[in-house]
């Protein structure tokens, strides 16, 4: 027998199972890689766009404030810089004399630090939570609805602000952006009148929060009662804020004195018959009183069914 005849033939069929196993393993790896890559964009999208409700509910503490269910609890950042304050009667025929900046200028451009202001007026439901922990009582505790709280004194508005300040400072549920701002020395209070006006009109000097013409589709005025905050949504309004015109007047930190505006001038309730500036007009006002530059005055100890407030987070 020759050497060729002595060679043992290779059994290819005997090695077939090993090849099949390798093939299936490779197929499994390819399929796994395919589905992993396919799922990655969805995962990244979820990371970049967290559910606002999950942010609001990081702890149960956030629920007790009744603030807006969004990433910043309803607060909106107003960037630092100047804006056009006051009124030019040649452009706004409804302007009042106390809206003039000075004897030599109709309008001014005061510089302001950045601050946050809430999208909504403080509601009965929000104020009732504060009153539940405060000696005394208030009508908001019976209603607890989303109408703006009224019949509140200036001191009560400031006390609510201090209470909310303390709550946010000491809660794990406070959004990081707000917590950091508070840690840098800011505090929750009422806005001063320049902050209020800048938030309401933006930097383009508009007469109303949405533009230069009145609109009963965007604000509650010439009406018989206040409505739930945010009833009149206003995408056109400066900074996306609601009810900066109409619904209820809003108290500020500023005393009613002649312009030009001075940021360090604050109301002293010990003065004889001091008046604080209120802004925005109310539900029963005409269009001339819901303009962004209107300056009303009220005694700090004179609660009214047409006057409420909104809070800001300010460095001053």
Cα–Cα dist 199/116, whole Å? 9
Give the model's pLDDT for residue 270.
Answer: 72
Give the model's pLDDT for residue 274.
Answer: 85
pLDDT in tens, 175-215: 999 999 999 999 999 999 999 999 999 999 999 999 999 99
User: Which residue from 225, 288, 147 is spatially nearest to 296, judged by alpha carbons?
Assistant: 288
Cα atoms found within 13 Å of the Cα of residue 96, Cβ hemisphere only: 13
- The Cα angle at residue 255 between residues 254 and 257, in degrees rounded to 5: 120
Residue 286 neighbours by CB distance under 10 Å: 11
Mean pLDDT taken over the chain:
86
Give the model's pLDDT for residue 266.
Answer: 80
pLDDT in tens, 240-276: 999 999 999 999 999 999 999 998 888 776 776 689 9
User: CA 208, 209, 210, 214 torsion: positive or negative?
Assistant: negative
pLDDT exceeds 60 at position 136: yes
> 161 falls in which pLDDT band (50, 70, 90)?
very high
pLDDT exceeds 80 at position 127: yes
Q: What is the pTM of this model?
A: 0.81
Q: Which residue has the higher pLDDT, 40 or 242?
A: 242
Q: Using a pLDDT cut of 90, give the percent of the chain over it.
A: 74
Rg of the chain in Å (alpha carbons): 30
Give the model's pLDDT for residue 271.
Answer: 72
The answer to whether the CB of 85 falls within 8 A of the CB of 198 is: yes
CATH code of domain 52-314: 3.90.1580.10
From start to end of 136-285, where are the E strands?
187-189, 249-255, 276-279
pLDDT in tens, 286-297: 999 999 999 999
Cα–Cα dist 236/225, whole Å? 24
Long-range contacts of 162-169 (CB under 8 A, 24+ apart): 162/188, 162/189, 163/130, 163/133, 163/134, 164/65, 164/130, 164/188, 164/311, 165/189, 167/61, 167/64, 167/65, 168/65
pLDDT exceeds 80 at position 28: no
What would the mean pLDDT of 116-122 be, rounded to a whole number?
98
pLDDT exceeds 80 at position 17: no
């Amino acid at each position: 027998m020759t050497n060729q005849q002595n060679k043992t033939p290779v059994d290819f069929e005997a090695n077939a199972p090993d090849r099949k196993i390798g093939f299936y393993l490779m197929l499994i790896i390819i399929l796994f890689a395919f589905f992993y890559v396919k799922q990655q964009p969805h995962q990244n999208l979820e990371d970049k766009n967290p559910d606002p409700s999950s942010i609001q509910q990081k702890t149960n503490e956030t629920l007790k404030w009744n603030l807006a269910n969004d990433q910043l609890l309803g607060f909106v950042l107003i960037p630092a810089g100047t804006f056009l304050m006051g009124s030019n009667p040649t452009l706004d025929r409804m302007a009042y004399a106390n809206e003039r900046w000075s004897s030599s200028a109709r309008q001014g451009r005061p510089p302001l630090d950045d601050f946050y202001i809430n999208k909504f007026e403080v509601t009965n439901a929000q104020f009732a939570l504060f009153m539940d922990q405060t000696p005394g009582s208030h009508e908001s505790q019976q209603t607890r609805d989303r109408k703006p709280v009224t019949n509140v004194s200036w001191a009560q508005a400031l006390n609510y602000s201090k209470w909310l300040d303390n709550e946010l400072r000491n809660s794990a549920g406070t959004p990081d952006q707000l917590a950091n701002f508070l840690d840098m020395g800011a505090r929750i209070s009422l806005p001063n009148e320049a902050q209020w006006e800048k938030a309401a009109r933006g930097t383009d000097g508009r007469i109303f929060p949405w533009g230069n013409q009145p609109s009963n589709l965007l604000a509650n005025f010439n009406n018989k009662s206040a409505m739930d905050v945010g009833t009149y949504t206003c995408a056109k309004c400066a900074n996306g804020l609601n009810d900066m015109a109409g619904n209820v007047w809003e108290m500020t930190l500023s005393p009613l004195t002649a312009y030009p505006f001075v940021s360090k001038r604050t109301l002293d309730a010990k003065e004889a018959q001091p008046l604080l500036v209120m802004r925005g007009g109310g539900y029963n006002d005409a269009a001339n009183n819901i303009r962004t530059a209107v300056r009303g005055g009220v005694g700090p100890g004179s609660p009214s069914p047409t006057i409420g407030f909104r809070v800001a987070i300010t460095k001053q």
